């Protein structure tokens, strides 16, 4: 399925490559570089590119491109999911998925890729199974391997690989048994100038950290699961019970894992947590314009809005911005024409405002359309959909 994998940094340099079948020349990445040049942002690079002899499927994570080369037609989402598993595994092993970390642990990364893919097909992608085969690097283990010529690869096959529950190792024992579930939701919404919602949807994920002894069998129920339009589960979930009862029944992996992804597209359920008053105008006479933006809380259930950031892609004619923020700070990149206003924590008593003048290129025509605003924010302990905030976890049985 997957013939080769290339890791490319933000500057376009290939710093790691892995081939499972035959060696494919780096020149195949030229098609990707052409698409990257045409894209405004790295996130806008098409995830699937067709070349005369290959398909290129990419994801963008932590300022890195994971590019896979395919020679036969395969489901693209299957490959995309595997690439995300690779990035998640690197993050789990080393605490960060960056170019410097990968270069510092290049031997372990190659060992992981060798185990995760067998002749181009996914084999072992669960973190706890991989950790039995390839031990995470430590300072002491690195010193011992250097002196003895050993490696991080284990001598025995993981116990989970020999059972019908390959995602969980056998003989797990803890002094303190605990399970944590984090419900994380992201809103994708489009608002018009008056603040009316044109489009809105919610992408949600349930991250779990389960440290229970033996072989626990858990159930997780929701207040109103019928609101989920689309769901995807970890392989541990019994899908037939979900179809019949809308209850998650599963034997969890040991440690951290993603239990479920869901999608809510009912627009009336999506409560936009902030409002924006914006005025961006360009004058007919003179190379200048005005900008005035104010942001305030709307439906936050009394929670604090954090990590608030406004991104504006300005027209090409805008040369500079002379603005005054009442909170946070702003930057304007002349090369990319991107204005970023980093507000931070939203203060309801003193609403943040950004206003000032914009300088345009002399002789350039007035921009026809005003730029759109992209708003990023974070609200802790609040589920916008309201669906998963009431969950019931039951340990049906724990057996060794």
Average pLDDT on 328-352 reads 90
> Do 292 and 395 fall into the same domain?
no
> Do 266 and 393 fall into the same domain?
yes
Determine the number of helices (DSSP H) and then strands (DSSP E) in the chain. 7, 22
pLDDT value of residue 389: 45
Q: How far is CA 219 from the centre of its chain?
A: 26
> Do 245 and 316 fall into the same domain?
no
Is 172 a member of any domain? no
Is 173 a member of any domain? no
> Do 217 and 355 fall into the same domain?
no
The pTM score is 0.75
> Do 240 and 294 fall into the same domain?
no
Is 160 a member of any domain? no
Is 162 a member of any domain? no
**Run of H or E including 34:** helix 30-38
Angle between helices 76-94 and 106-116 (to 10 degrees): 140
Average pLDDT on 76-93 reads 93
Question: pLDDT for 220-276, tens place per residue?
Answer: 888 888 888 889 999 899 999 999 999 999 999 888 889 999 988 866 667 788 888
Q: How far is CA 284 from the centre of its chain?
A: 42
Average pLDDT on 89-114 reads 91
Query: Domain with 332 in it: what CATH number?
Result: 2.60.40.1170
Whether the Cβ atoms of residue 378 and residue 345 lie closer than 8 Å to each other: no
> Does the pLDDT of residue 75 top 70, yes or no?
yes
Confidence of residue 56 (pLDDT cuts 50, 70, 90): very high
Question: pLDDT for 341-378, tens place per residue?
Answer: 999 998 888 899 999 999 888 777 777 777 888 888 88
Range of the domain at 42: 2-148
DSSP class of residue 326 equals: S
> Do 339 and 358 fall into the same domain?
yes
pLDDT value of residue 281: 86
Structure tokens at 148: 């003895």
> Does the pLDDT of residue 388 top 60, yes or no?
no
Is 169 a member of any domain? no
> Do 12 and 115 fall into the same domain?
yes
Residue 141 vs residue 200, higher pLDDT: 200
188: left (phi over 0), alpha (psi -120 to 50) or beta: beta
> Does the pLDDT of residue 398 top 50, yes or no?
yes
The stretches of the chain forming alpha helices (DSSP H) are 30-38, 76-94, 99-104, 106-116, 127-133, 139-148, 239-245
> Do 100 and 221 fall into the same domain?
no
pLDDT value of residue 157: 59
Confidence of residue 151 (pLDDT cuts 50, 70, 90): low
Whether the Cβ atoms of residue 128 and residue 253 lie closer than 8 Å to each other: yes
Query: Structural domain tally of the chain?
Result: 3
Is 289 a member of any domain? yes
Whether the Cβ atoms of residue 280 and residue 290 lie closer than 8 Å to each other: yes
Strand 338-344 to strand 305-313: parallel, antiparallel, or no bridges (unpaired)?
A: antiparallel
What are the DSSP calls for 81-95, one per residue?
HHHHHHHHHHHHHHS
Structure tokens at 371: 């730029």
> Among 60, 9, 398, 24, which Cα is nearest to 216's?
398
Residue 372 phi/psi, 5° resolution? Answer: -90, 160
DSSP class of residue 292 equals: E
> Do 229 and 313 fall into the same domain?
no
Please compute, for residue 124, the number of CA atoms within 13 A of its CA located in the half-sphere on the CB side: 22
> Does the pLDDT of residue 311 top 90, yes or no?
yes
């Amino acid at each position: 399925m997957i013939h080769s994998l290339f890791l490319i940094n933000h500057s376009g340099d290939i710093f790691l490559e892995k081939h499972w079948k035959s060696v494919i020349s780096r020149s195949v990445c030229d098609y990707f570089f052409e698409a990257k040049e045409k894209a405004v942002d790295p996130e806008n690079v098409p995830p699937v590119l067709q070349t005369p002899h290959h398909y290129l499927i990419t994801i963008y994570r932590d300022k890195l491109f994971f590019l896979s080369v395919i020679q036969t037609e395969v489901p693209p989402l299957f490959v995309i999911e595997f690439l995300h598993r690779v990035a998640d595994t690197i993050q789990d092993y080393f605490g960060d998925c960056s170019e410097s970390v990968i270069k510092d642990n290049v031997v372990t990364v190659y060992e992981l890729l060798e185990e995760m893919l067998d002749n181009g097909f996914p084999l072992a992608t669960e973190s706890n199974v991989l950790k039995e085969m390839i031990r995470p690097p430590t300072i002491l283990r690195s010193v011992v391997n250097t002196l003895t010529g050993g490696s991080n690869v284990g001598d025995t096959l993981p116990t989970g690989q020999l059972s019908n529950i390959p995602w969980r190792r056998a003989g797990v024992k803890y002094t303190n048994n605990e399970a944590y579930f984090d419900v994380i939701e992201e809103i994708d919404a489009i608002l018009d100038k008056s603040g009316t919602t044109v489009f809105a949807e919610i992408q949600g994920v349930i991250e779990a950290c389960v440290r229970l002894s033996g072989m626990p069998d858990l159930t997780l129920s929701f207040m109103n699961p019928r609101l989920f339009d689309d769901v995807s589960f970890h392989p541990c979930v019994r899908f037939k019970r979900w179809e019949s009862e809308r209850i998650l029944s599963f034997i969890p992996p040991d440690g951290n894992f993603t239990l479920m992804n869901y999608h809510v597209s009912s627009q009336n359920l999506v409560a936009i947590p902030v409002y924006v008053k914006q005025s961006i105008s360009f004058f007919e006479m003179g190379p200048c314009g005005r900008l005035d933006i104010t942001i305030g809380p709307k439906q936050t259930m009394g929670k604090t809005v954090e990590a608030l950031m406004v991104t504006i892609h300005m027209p090409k004619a805008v040369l500079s911005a002379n603005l005054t923020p009442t909170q946070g700070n702003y930057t304007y990149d002349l090369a990319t024409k991107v204005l970023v206003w980093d507000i931070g924590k939203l203060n309801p008593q003193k609403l943040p405002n950004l206003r000032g003048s914009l300088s345009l290129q002399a002789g350039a025509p007035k921009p026809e359309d005003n730029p759109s605003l992209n708003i990023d924010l974070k609200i802790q302990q609040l589920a916008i959909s309201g669906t998963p905030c009431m969950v019931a976890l039951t340990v049906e049985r724990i057996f060794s």
